[in-house]
Amino acid sequence: MSAITIITGSRDRLREHERGLRGMRPRGGLVAAKSLDDLRDQLRRLVDAATGIADGSIQTQAVIVDGKFGAGSRAFSVTDPLYREFPDGANSLIAMLQGAGIPVLVDPRGLSAECAYAVARAGGRLIKDGQLRRQVGSAIAHVAFNRETLKVENDFARGYDTEELGGAATVSAILSENEFVVSQLREFAKEHTGGLRILDLGCGTGRFEELLLTDPKLRSKITQIVAVDFAPRYLVEARRRLPHFLKPIDMRKIVFLRRIAEDLHFPRGYFDVVLASFGVVCFSRSHLTLQQVSKVTRTGGLALFNGYNRSALTYEFDAKIARTDNPVTHFAIHIDKDKNRMHLGSSVIDCMTFDVPSFENLLRLVGLNPATEHSRTFPTLYGAARRDYLNELASPAASLDPGREHASCHKPGTTCSTHLSYQDENLVEHTDSGFHDLIHKMDADLERVLDRQGFYFSVAAHKGPADS
Ligand SMILES: C[S@@+](CC[C@H](N)C(=O)[O-])C[C@H]1O[C@@H](n2cnc3c(N)ncnc32)[C@H](O)[C@@H]1O
């Protein structure tokens, strides 16, 4: 149930705000701290609760917060960092909440002009006398992302790995993307002398964290992966799943954050590499997301995108094979490219599709230079062939066994066998058995005959010298 959270150090203010929000659903968080560290801890817990990080719930529509809190003789402002990982206050209370798509309204009483300016620059709205209710209503109405999509994605998180890894065709698509991402990153890492700081946008259950931090050539080069998703339940799943497959030393390189792709609140040029993969670009408001990707990629840095290829969706069989009620069709989604909607089982979410050249042009507009010679599309079969047919082609060893314990589990225990690996030997088997190569070959043949490109596209781009 959605509510407006009030975070304040004063009981009187809490009551005052509650009165001002009549008709809405206020929820109070009273802070009384002895030291600055204690205060920071209390605020961190309130921010985590508001953003649903711990339990995956999404209950906050907006936050009303005091601009300044006192702890002993010291003060803490909402623009001060709550966590230490990022410079520029990217982990301040205000950035953490707004980065989760939650508007923040700040009580300016006790704020210096300098602080009020910092709040406004960070995107916080200063509360005006007698206007709280109107301001909250308008802030909620202008949130940059789609809450409906968030709900569908969040609900999808628990079954995501079984869905993704359960069919030969999907696995082939995953392997193709893996190949693309790893080869581009290895090439980039060769020319890059320092450690790599990577942003994984729409990290889901942490497929790329597993892939990259187990890759023998990349593992030691990576100093940090910031794994971002707007759906808290995905973050919960990723946090549970990854310790089984990654060494503790590599787990410590990952920072999980709930942020929305359209409004990231990271410092400009902070990342060497940004991955925006498997639909995050297509599910978010792409015109905003691409600007954000360009902003947070450092000059000379690399951005890798995967998305749905608009021109592949013109097959006349697309509508036939992609119907959700067809049990033999692997493909459980149907994209209506004219309405920009994707049907995911019984749910419908917004989904942009792109022709590769148009997507590359969009990248140029935001200051990213696509490496056109590296763009790829794959595989047509994913969208076109029937599940039973593809499963016949796959090796028998490729079927998944979720009850099996992981051979080299870094965190064995009761939940060990419930988590699926994207680097499992059965998946590797797909490659070794020739199945994956076969898919590629058939795909190339199909493309020759049909003169169409594959269902997914992958595009690599470098950040140009001038900031957009
Ligand atoms: C299809 S999943 C892909 C997950 C993962 N990258 C993978 O390849 O397995 C897309 C992810 O993007 C996230 N996502 C979608 N729209 C988003 C947005 N506007 N901001 C942040 N994350 C978003 C979803 O919650 C979901 O985890």
Q: How far is the CA of 376 from the centre of ligand 1 (A)?
A: 21
**pLDDT tens per residue across span 297-352:** 999 999 999 998 887 765 545 555 455 454 444 454 578 888 998 877 778 899 99
Between CA 173 and CA 456 the distance in angstroms is: 8
Between CA 161 and CA 283 the distance in angstroms is: 19
Query: Which of 229, 258, 275, 419 has most ligand 1 atoms within 8 Å of its beta carbon, as the pocket-test mutant?
Result: 229
pLDDT above 50 for 462: yes
- Mean pLDDT across the stretch 153-180? 84
Which two tokens mark 201?
């946008």
Tell me which range, 27-31, 113-117, 250-254, is most confidently predicted by mean pLDDT: 250-254
pLDDT above 50 for 86: yes
CA distances from 97 to 4, 78, 342, 356, 358 (A): 12, 11, 28, 34, 33
**pLDDT tens per residue across span 217-263:** 999 999 999 999 999 999 999 999 999 999 999 999 999 999 999 99
Q: Print the SS3 string covering 107-140.
A: ECCCCCHHHHHHHHHCCCEECCCCCHHHHHHHHH
Q: For residue 309, what pLDDT is reported?
A: 86
Q: Are 234 and 152 in contact (CB under 8 A)?
A: no
Q: What is the pTM of this model?
A: 0.91
Which helix (H) or strand (E) covers residue 443, if one does?
Answer: helix 435-450
Name the 3-class secondary structure at 98.
Answer: helix
- Mean pLDDT across the stretch 73-87? 88
Beta-carbon contacts of 442 under 8 Å, excluding residues fewer than 6 positions away, are 379, 381
Q: For residue 243, what pLDDT is reported?
A: 97
Between CA 49 and CA 64 the distance in angstroms is: 14
Q: Are 298 and 222 in contact (CB under 8 A)?
A: no
Q: How far is the CA of 459 from the centre of ligand 1 (A)?
A: 17
Which two tokens mark 425?
């030997």
Query: Which of 260, 283, 306 has most ligand 1 atoms within 8 Å of its beta carbon, as the pocket-test mutant?
Result: 283
Between CA 399 and CA 386 the distance in angstroms is: 16
Give the mean pLDDT of the chain: 86
- Residue nearest atom 11 of ligand 1, based on CA coordinates: 202
245-275: b or e for each residue (b if 16 or more CB lie within 10 Å)? bbeeebbebbebbbbbbbbbbbeebbbbbbb
Q: How far is the CA of 219 from the centre of ligand 1 (A)?
A: 23
How many CA atoms does the CB half-sphere of 68 hold within 13 Å?
A: 14
In ligand 1, which atom is closest to the CA atom of 283?
Answer: 16
Which helix (H) or strand (E) covers residue 43, if one does?
Answer: helix 36-51
What's the residue count for the chain?
Answer: 468
Q: For residue 64, what pLDDT is reported?
A: 97
Burial bucket for residue 451 (CB in 10 Å: 0-12, 13-18, 19+):
exposed
Q: How far is the CA of 37 from the centre of ligand 1 (A)?
A: 33
Between CA 462 and CA 368 the distance in angstroms is: 6
In ligand 1, which atom is closest to the CA atom of 164?
Answer: 9
Q: For residue 468, what pLDDT is reported?
A: 44
Q: How far is the CA of 43 from the centre of ligand 1 (A)?
A: 27
Name the 3-class secondary structure at 313.
Answer: helix
End-to-end Cα separation, the chain, in angstroms: 39
Q: For residue 328, what pLDDT is reported?
A: 45
Q: Ligand 1: residues within 6 Å at CB?
A: 145, 149, 153, 202-204, 207, 229-231, 234, 260-262, 277-280, 283-284
